[in-house]
Amino acid sequence: MVDTRNNVLPVTLDAASLEIWGLQGSGRSVRLQGDVDDTWADSFALAQHVQGDGARFYLDRRRHVLVFSAESGADPQKSLSSARVLIDLTNRRAGRQTPRKPVDIVSPDPEENTRRATAPGTPVRAEAAKKSTHQRMEDTRGAKRVSAALMVQFRAANDNGTDGSSTGMTRDVTETGVFVVTSRLPSVGEKLSLTVHLEAQKRIGLTGEVVRVLDKDQARQLQLRAGFAARVTDPSGQYSRHVAGLR
């Protein structure tokens, strides 16, 4: 039989269906479009757990809606924006293929970007030529990266378990590294023990060293979420094989 799992369309939000929820009018609901099966629902619960400081959402599978609280005077569109991020993470973890927008090609040479941006018919926008050094580094470093949403538990390598572990979600991965979105930011150079959840019952232990930290202020300027990049060591080879299979 042919495996049709990857042919299942991603779940999306019907923003036009936003309405008041509950007798007190303190909640909002928005309709979900797509197949909300057991796998997707489980992935939703995990993605919500590691989303960080975003709004809390309740998945009502029977009514096929997403429910969230709405404080008096609050803009529900902000909660919808957080919900879209959550839905996107869930789709990726559930193996749903989310259509990707075309990405402009950006050269690490700013002068080359300027020439491309001013040339007629070029796909590079003028804004790309004005990217900061940090953003250009992100582009060049991301050349071999793969977008993936995997749950990661991490702690200091010298922590024997007394302080507990922190949790995050990968933004992208390579065969030798990982970027983890999290509110708990380690220091550059810190040694970590990481546990990557590839599937519901499959976990891989890695050791890593933090090579870059994107704090909340930097993340806000770049319209990204805070986190850190780590170079990892994979003694078993399972992690690198898994990443290679995502390409």
Under the banding of pLDDT at 50, 70 and 90, the label for residue 106 is: very low
DSSP string, 22-84: STTS-EEEEEEES---HHHHHHHHHHHHTS-SSPPEEEETTTTEEEEE--TT--HHHHHHHHH
Indicate if 88 and 168 belong to the same structural domain. no
Indicate if 150 and 236 belong to the same structural domain. yes
Arithmetic mean of pLDDT, 79-89: 85
- Rounded distance between C-alpha atoms, residue 133 and residue 131, angstroms: 7
> What domain range is 70 assigned to?
5-93
Indicate if 89 and 148 belong to the same structural domain. no
Indicate if 164 and 241 belong to the same structural domain. yes
% of the chain surpassing 70 pLDDT? 68
| Residue 132 domain-assigned (yes or no) | no
pLDDT digits (tens, 9 = 90+) for 146-177: 888 889 999 998 876 656 789 999 988 988 99
| Residue 127 domain-assigned (yes or no) | no
Indicate if 62 and 149 belong to the same structural domain. no
Q: Which token pair is 37?
A: 């099966």
For all residues of the chain together, what is the average pLDDT?
76
Check pLDDT > 70 for residue 239.
Answer: yes
Task: Give 19's strand partners.
Answer: 29
Indicate if 152 and 240 belong to the same structural domain. yes
Under the banding of pLDDT at 50, 70 and 90, the label for residue 46 is: confident
Apex CA 97: angle with CA 135 and CA 185, to 5°?
Answer: 40
Please give the tally of structural domains in the chain.
Answer: 2
Arithmetic mean of pLDDT, 40-56: 70
HSE (CB half, 13 Å, CA atoms) of 49? 13
pLDDT digits (tens, 9 = 90+) for 173-200: 988 999 999 999 999 999 999 999 887 6
Q: Which token pair is 51?
A: 């989303």
| Residue 123 domain-assigned (yes or no) | no
- The last residue of one of the domains, among 93, 120, 155, is 93
Cα–Cα distance list, 182 to 1, 188, 227, 232, 234 (Å): 40, 15, 5, 17, 21
Check pLDDT > 90 for residue 224.
Answer: no
Model pTM? 0.46
pLDDT at 115: 56
- Rounded distance between C-alpha atoms, residue 57 and residue 65, angstroms: 10
- The last residue of one of the domains, among 93, 122, 157, is 93
| Residue 105 domain-assigned (yes or no) | no
pLDDT at 159: 76
Indicate if 159 and 85 belong to the same structural domain. no
- The last residue of one of the domains, among 93, 115, 130, is 93
Indicate if 160 and 232 belong to the same structural domain. yes
| Residue 224 domain-assigned (yes or no) | yes
CATH classification at residue 231 = 2.40.10.220
Indicate if 172 and 242 belong to the same structural domain. yes
- Rounded distance between C-alpha atoms, residue 101 and residue 224, angstroms: 17
pLDDT at 231: 93
Indicate if 26 and 87 belong to the same structural domain. yes
CATH classification at residue 22 = 3.90.1150
HSE (CB half, 13 Å, CA atoms) of 67? 13
